[in-house]
Structure formats: structure tokens, C-alpha cells
Amino acid sequence: MPISSRISKSHGVDPGKGKALGWQKQAIADGDYTMDVSGLAASNHGPGDITTDQGVLADGTHLSTEARFGAISIDTVQGEAALHLVTDSANGRLRVNDAFDSAHQVTLGNLDHLSFDYFIQSSDRTDVIPVIRIAVDADGDLSTTTDRGELVFEYAYQGLGATTAGAWHHVDLLGSDWNAWQRSNGANHDGYPDIVAFSNWADTDGYTPTGGIHFDEHSLIIGWSIALGSGNGTSNMYLDHLQVGGETINFA
């Protein structure tokens, strides 16, 4: 079925028939809501990244997917509908990207929530879970684009030990002050000492990786991505309840 989305009242409470549109507008204006996303699907079991425009969601943000040697869908595990990510091989690469409109853009210094739930069905590696990437405009001036990059929150760089399959887990990237590395200027700046805690990127002084771009509290978040692969072998994982600021994505 085609992708669909709907806004719930704050904290996921449905206001009922006849009031949905009003609650949607109010929830978006308040910046605190849950959005149900259904029907998301993309697959490509061959080489070459296939990008699919999934359209504008109910909150005005713009969703797209990328797939190579893998598949993206919404399926149920342990009674919970969730985003399902499966890579076929070490060359598998999957992305779910959401580009913010002006109403959702927030500075690094003002980002107050970044969390999600995940479930590992199987994986060739014990240090891999879905990766969250946030797209950032360094100076906050959207008329220039050469100063854009991503902050990448990857489990393998946290020193948390082996993952556990067969159970749901919750990850609070900001509350636990996860380490993040920067993708910018066409390169991954993912070597030490350039892998630093999120609070270093988002404070007054900010941080500049070698060969990268300076991010600080004034840098503007312009979107997010959920990523899996490449180079990590085969994997079969689920993700749900992604919260970025006041927006929570519930894959249903």
C-alpha cells in the first residue's frame, strides 16, 4: 500500500473523529506530537543506490528512501509494528531520510530529545544497531549549502559492549551524551580524536574535526536519517518511536 501518515495529539492520544485536523495543526504548532507513518516500503536487492521520493508527510516534512542490496518495510515483531531494515550482504546500504521544513528546523543548542527503540532479529556483528544521522547546516544560513554535513551516532563508537538480540531496547542519544562523528566535505571524519560527545558539538565553542566543518550551538538541524550498512555484513533489525525534538515517529 502507498505511504500514509497522520498526526496524533501530544503524547500519542487520538482526539477522535471530527477533531483530527484541528489537533494536527495545534500539535505541529506546539512542536510536540506523535506522527504515525504507515505503508513505507522500498527494496533493491542489486547494486546501485535506488532513491525513492516517498512524499510529504502530515507534518510537512519530506520523506525519501535509499536502498542497495536490502529492503525497507514496516512489519510486526513481538506484537509491535516497526520500521524493518534488512541488508542482504556486507554491501547492503539502507537509508530513511526526512528533510525538515522551516517549522521543524532547530539549532543543535536547542535540540532537547533524540531517542529511539530498536530490536535486533539477527546480525553478523554484535556492535551494530540502526544508525541515526542528523543533517546540519553549520552557519544556519540556508542560502549557502557548502557548509552542510551530518552528525552520525553509531553504536560501535560508544564502548557499550556487545548488543543483545531478541528484545526491544531504548536508546537516549542526548541523555546519555553519545559520541558522534561528522560526515562533511565528502568524507567521514570518524577517527579519534574527532569522535566526541554530542554536547561538544552543541555547546558555545562547538567542535571542528580535522578536514571538516565547524558545528556549534547555532548550527541548524535540517533533517534526520535512519541508516543501516554498509560494510557490516547481513542484518535484520527493527526501529520505532524515533523522537527528534518534539516530533516522535511511530511506524505503524
Q: Which of these ranges, 29-38, 130-139, 141-150, 155-164, has the smallest mean pLDDT?
A: 29-38
- What pLDDT does 31 receive? 78
pLDDT score of 19 more than 70: no
- What pLDDT does 30 receive? 76
> pTM, whole model, 2 decimals?
0.94
CATH number at residue 113: 2.60.120
Within 13 Å and on the Cβ side, how many CA atoms surround 43? 8
Q: How many CB atoms lie within 10 A of CB 185?
A: 14
- What pLDDT does 18 receive? 45
Within 13 Å and on the Cβ side, how many CA atoms surround 140? 10
User: pLDDT of 56-68, one tens digit each?
Assistant: 999 999 999 999 9
Amino acid type, 193:
P
Kindly compute the dihedral angle of the four CA atoms of residues 171, 88, 122, 150, in this order, to the nearest 10 degrees. -10
User: pLDDT of 69-101, one tens digit each?
Assistant: 999 999 999 999 999 999 999 999 999 999 999
- What pLDDT does 1 receive? 67
pLDDT score of 21 more than 70: no
Average pLDDT across the chain, whole number: 94
- What pLDDT does 20 receive? 53
- What pLDDT does 26 receive? 76
Q: List Cβ neighbours of 208 (8 Å cut-off, separation of 6 or more).
A: 214, 215
pLDDT score of 167 more than 80: yes
Mean per-residue pLDDT for 146-160? 97
Count of domains observed in the chain: 1
Q: Which of these ranges, 19-23, 38-42, 247-251, has the smallest mean pLDDT?
A: 19-23
Angle (nearest 5°) at CA 105 between 98 and 141: 110
pLDDT score of 12 more than 60: no
User: pLDDT of 23-46, one tens digit each?
Assistant: 677 777 777 899 999 999 999 999
Domain containing 154: what range? Answer: 4-251
- What pLDDT does 11 receive? 52
